[in-house]
Amino acid sequence: MLTVLLKCSYEYRPSDDGQLVLLNVESRAHVLHAFVNTEYIGSVHGSHDGPGNIILNMNISLKEGQNTISLLSVMVGSPDSDAHMERRSFGIRKVSIQQGQQPLHLLNNELWGYQVGLYGEGKRIYTQEEASSVEWTEINNLTYHPLTWYKTTFAAPVGNDAVALNLTSMGKGEVWVNGESIGRYWVSFKAPSGQPSQSLYHVPQHFLKPTDNLLVLVEEIGGNPLEITVNTVSITTVCGNVNELSSPALHTQGKDPEVRLRCQRGKHISAIEFASYGNPAGDCTTFSTGSCHAALSESVVKQACIGKRGCSIPVSPAKFGGDPCPGIQKSLLVVASCR
């Protein structure tokens, strides 16, 4: 996530009729947060199918004399290849203020200062060493403040099951465990179903200690950190579906593509629920054999995988006793149980 903070000073002379002051910002970033005299006034973000620019229009309150306008521009990511990349531009394009019916005052040519990244990122306050270098306030009466850092500690769950943070109560931001980022989250941005596209965020076991794990979040738009939970996830089923024309892994160039299965630590493949080399129908949740199916599919997969934590099976007719249906593009679909 790339963040750029822009600041400028604006001298305000109030009119006698108490006309409203309108702040207008046009940007080609993904998210924009606006502040006036360090007070948060609002945000706007784009969408996948929306126009390439976002616009913030807000009535603001100014004090007589000098006022500071701060704009935090956020990019979640940008294309790394395409035609005419040199012509692409991102970030804030136009900033203006209008007071009632007075002429538009364009701020583009004012003296702006900028800072790349957040102060907390630069100070690395998400690490054990630097978290104590800043002052933290205990949460009493929770208010949903945007752009707030939160810190707590937690004990790791007992056992070998995968560990995940449930961030359903949060909005948008980034999270660190013991100084290691586990990624960005945007729980408040809903899928077409109305639910978050993701609410559980995996914490690798090697990030964790038995106790006193440091959890730090920077929340952009507001959330309730008191409702974050540490969950364990038991993976009981693994699946692979690979076409014979799929590209093999980089370190296996020259070999046939293969299905790779792997159970989480402490478990092994106990059963093969489904295996078909040919043109199986469906996916990892709903599956059936198609018009082309190698009779040896299940026995070959069982021999390669049962009792092991992980296994790999080449997607090749030679592995399954020959081509069961020449001229038809084939794939291998395997669904296995872990215990």
Q: What is the pLDDT of residues 309-320, one digit of tens each?
A: 999 999 999 999
Rounded CA-CA distance 187/176 in Å is: 16
296/314 same-domain check: yes
Q: Are 334 and 272 in contact (CB under 8 A)?
A: yes
10/105 same-domain check: yes
Give the HSE-up count for residue 326: Cα atoms under 13 Å, Cβ half-sphere: 1
Domain end (from 63, 93, 117): 117
136/162 same-domain check: yes
Domain end (from 93, 117, 141): 117
Rounded CA-CA distance 273/285 in Å is: 11
Least confident of 106-110, 218-222, 244-248, 325-329: 244-248
Q: Which of 135, 161, 166 is nearest to 149 (CA)?
A: 135
323/217 same-domain check: no
The distance from CA 268 to its chain's CA centroid, rounded to whole angstroms, is: 30
- Per-residue model confidence (pLDDT) at position 281: 96
Q: What is the CATH number of the domain that holds 298?
A: 2.60.120.740
Q: Are 245 and 329 in contact (CB under 8 A)?
A: yes
85/184 same-domain check: no
Q: What is the CATH number of the domain that holds 175?
A: 2.60.120.260
Q: Are 240 and 261 in contact (CB under 8 A)?
A: yes
258/179 same-domain check: no
Q: How many domains does the chain have?
A: 3
101/135 same-domain check: no
Domain end (from 205, 233, 261): 233
Model pLDDT for residues 237-262, shown as the tens digit of each residue: 999 999 998 876 655 555 789 999 99
Domain that residue 142 falls in: 120-233
Q: Which of 27, 88, 92, 97 is nearest to 55 (CA)?
A: 27
Model pLDDT for residues 181-214, shown as the tens digit of each residue: 999 999 988 888 888 889 999 999 999 999 999 9
Helix/strand/coil for 289: coil
300/277 same-domain check: yes
206/179 same-domain check: yes
Which residues on neighbouring strands pair with residue 217, listed in sequence order?
A: 150, 175
229/126 same-domain check: yes
8/101 same-domain check: yes
- Per-residue model confidence (pLDDT) at position 250: 53
**Mean pLDDT across the stretch 271-298?**
97
Rg (CA), the chain: 27
Tokens of 261: 């299965």
20/108 same-domain check: yes
**Mean pLDDT across the stretch 145-158?**
94
**Mean pLDDT across the stretch 59-82?**
87
Distances (CA, A) of 324 to 51, 168, 276, 287, 316: 50, 48, 11, 19, 11
Least confident of 16-30, 89-103, 106-120, 270-284: 16-30
Amino acid of residue 235: I
Name the pLDDT band for 47 (thresholds 50, 70, 90): confident
